[in-house]
Amino acid sequence: MEEKIIELISAGLKDLYQITDVAIKIEDTKKEFEGDYTFVVFPYTRITKLGPEQTADALGKYILEHSKDISSYNVVKGFLNLVIADHIWNAFLHEQFSNVSYGKTQFGKGKKVMVEYSSPNTNKPLHLGHVRNNLLGWSISEIMKFNGYDVVKVNLINDRGIHICKSMLAWIKTGNGETPDSSGLKGDKLVGKYYVAFNELMKAEVAQLVASGISQEEAEKQAPILKEAQEMLLKWEAGDEETMHIWEMMNEWVYAGFELTYKRLGCDFDRYYYESNTYLLGKKAVDVGLSKNIFYKKDDGSVWIDLTADGLDQKLLLRADGTSVYMTQDIGTAMMKYDDEHCEKSVYVVGNEQEYHFKVLKLILEKLEVGNASGLYHLSYGMVELPTGKLKSREGKTVDADELIEEMYESAKFKTNELGKTEGLEEAELHHLYETIGLSALKYFILKIDPTRKMVFNPEESIELQGNTGPFIQYTYARIKSVLRGYNQQINYSVSELFLLKPEKDLLVLLYKFEQAVKEASLVMSPAVIANYIYEVAQSYNHFYHECSILREENEQVKQRRLAMSQLAANTIKNALHLLGIGTVERM
């Protein structure tokens, strides 16, 4: 429809004013005014030599004469508001109302994209920050799939490095052979406990050193337990048997724990990468870079790249002791990823604190000519903060993912029971209901916010189930399904020339824009576009529901139309919620 209008305006400008070769832009008409699309004529008044009103009026007249699809127009100052004829909306409804995959586009057809998300460290459990990452990564993948892209979801497990050694060391020193079975703790929780323990042990040692007259900074470098961890990393890279054994055992615990959390969050992956498998490839690449003089070696043996010519600093690629760092691993991973899948685009869902890292990574890949540097895209999302301040995982001050999900579940359960809507449902159905509603509240609360922005997570607000929330949208869906159940026959809608009431038309126009939202969400990689869109749909449907009778409508044609609209709204909500990883329930 937009294209048609643009053609009309373009023809009008040419015939009336001899204006050609200009990019015509139209926008949605603001609610306060009558019309569907608006064309702003201000920029053209200089050429038309007429006032804005006259220019717009002449153009409006021209369009009305040349198209049956525009039923009327009005002019406010320099704004030409065009009203689309009802038959267009009716035809759209007729075409789409039973389309269960309504909204799908072929926008990204033939393009293959890899989306890396989650990417946890194996030394501690998943927390609120990971939750945002997981939800974003999964949702963006699904949005791109919905747009026809071939998407490979990837999880890069950071299973090696000094941080892992810290957990291992603390476990060896203080664990007394504790296991998930013996402790009853989820595997990731158990390992996380020892990561916190390490930091406490180290803190004590640092305090002691400081007491003996050494500076804080120096003490933090010299703490014996830190030295031990560093030695352990060396042993690990050398393949020391005992170290490897403990490492493998503890990682298995963590994976089992993560798996449970992923399952509950609804995240899945097509492929897993392990940094323990990719860092050697990275090291090799560093050697190649050295021989090509892209990198250089300092006297202490550490390897660097000088990026001052690119406006950046110097960056470390290998430590003086020869062990690899984050960057080394990421070079190797990028190479392996490209070898495996040959995606033209590789998206990294990683927090914005690492923007610098990815800028450097991209440059290095470019210079080394490996791993498809041009396709690298860092989807940089904002940090999650609590009303009380920032999350601090080193001190164990976080919002734990599992606990958070459980709270949402309980909240949904409490609210459902309070409303007394549990009648006739069996235990398993109830569980499913609470789970679906609780997770919807959590997911929607996080995804409705623009990913690039930092967000404040208020636990009390997040468990709200009213207003602009996931459950509100689910409720609208359940309400529609209830109406459709009440009819319980095939909807038999045929295009009629009947007049659309305002709430009907508003809803239809909004539903028509789903594809546009789907496309935009994929372009800007933002589930928030979908979330905000579907919230408007739910609001609009509820308004329509209050204003217009459906089952009680006596005019059969109108009744069928409203049923068809309900059907289309239900399909739209279901598909949109799916893109956010949110399920629907038939009643709630």
Partner RNA sequence: GCCUCCAUAGCUCAGUGGAUAGAGCAACGGUUUUCUAAACCGUUGGCCGAAGGUUCGAGUCCUUCUGGGGGUACCA
Query: Which parts of 365-448 are beta strand (E)?
Result: 376-381, 384-386, 389-390
Question: Considering Cα of 341, then 346, then 349, then 354, what sign does the dihedral take?
Answer: positive
Q: Smallest distance, Å, CB 4 to RNA?
A: 17
CB contact burial 494-524 (16+ within 10 A = b; e otherwise): ebeeeebeebbbbbbbbbbebbebbbebbee
Nearer to RNA, 179 or 363 (CB): 363
Question: Residue 507's closest CA among 539, 475, 540?
Answer: 540
- Of 337-366, binders to RNA (CB under 7 A) are 352-357
Give the per-residue contact string, 427-466, with RNA (x = CB under 7 A; - = no).
Answer: ------x---x----------xxx-xxxxx-x--x--xxx
DSSP notation for 133-175: HHHHHHHHHHHHHHTT-EEEEEEEEB--SHHHHHHHHHHHHH-
CB contact burial 283-306 (16+ within 10 A = b; e otherwise): bebbeebeeeebbeeeeeebbebe
| CA 133 to chain CA mean position, Å | 7
Do residues 83 and 73 touch, judged by C-beta distance below 8 A?
yes
Q: Smallest distance, Å, CB 181 to RNA?
A: 28
Give the per-residue contact string, 377-406, with RNA (x = CB under 7 A; - = no).
Answer: ------x---x--x----------------
Q: Smallest distance, Å, CB 565 to RNA?
A: 12
Among 483, 491, 495, 501, binds RNA (CB under 7 A): 483
- Of 86-145, binders to RNA (CB under 7 A) are 121
Q: Smallest distance, Å, CB 176 to RNA?
A: 26
Nearer to RNA, 154 or 478 (CB): 478
Q: Smallest distance, Å, CB 478 to RNA?
A: 3
Write the CB contacts of 529 (distance below 8 Å, at least 6 apart in sequence). 517, 520, 521
Residue 324 bridge partners (DSSP): 318
Residue 261 bridge partners (DSSP): none
| CA 257 to chain CA mean position, Å | 23
- Of 411-430, binders to RNA (CB under 7 A) are 412, 415-416, 419, 421
Nearer to RNA, 326 or 377 (CB): 326
The count of chain residues that interact with RNA, using the rule CB under 7 A, is 96
Nearer to RNA, 86 or 275 (CB): 275
- Of 553-572, binders to RNA (CB under 7 A) are none
Residue 28 bridge partners (DSSP): 37
Nearer to RNA, 30 or 61 (CB): 30
Nearer to RNA, 109 or 394 (CB): 394
268 φ, ψ to 5°? -145, 165
Question: Residue 326's closest CA among 302, 357, 355?
Answer: 357
Antiparallel, parallel or unpaired: β 79-84 and 112-116: unpaired
Nearer to RNA, 12 or 35 (CB): 35
**Residue 243 is a binding residue for RNA (CB under 7 A):** no
Nearer to RNA, 231 or 450 (CB): 450
Please report which residue ranges of 463-555 form alpha helices under DSSP H. 470-487, 502-512, 514-523, 527-547
Q: Smallest distance, Å, CB 68 to RNA?
A: 23
- Of 137-196, binders to RNA (CB under 7 A) are 158, 161-163
Token pair for 107: 């926008």
Among 241, 300, 423, 426, binds RNA (CB under 7 A): 300
- Of 271-290, binders to RNA (CB under 7 A) are 275
Nearer to RNA, 126 or 538 (CB): 538
Among 215, 374, 549, 555, binds RNA (CB under 7 A): 549
Nearer to RNA, 97 or 475 (CB): 475
- Of 10-69, binders to RNA (CB under 7 A) are 25, 27-30, 32-33, 35, 38, 40, 42-43
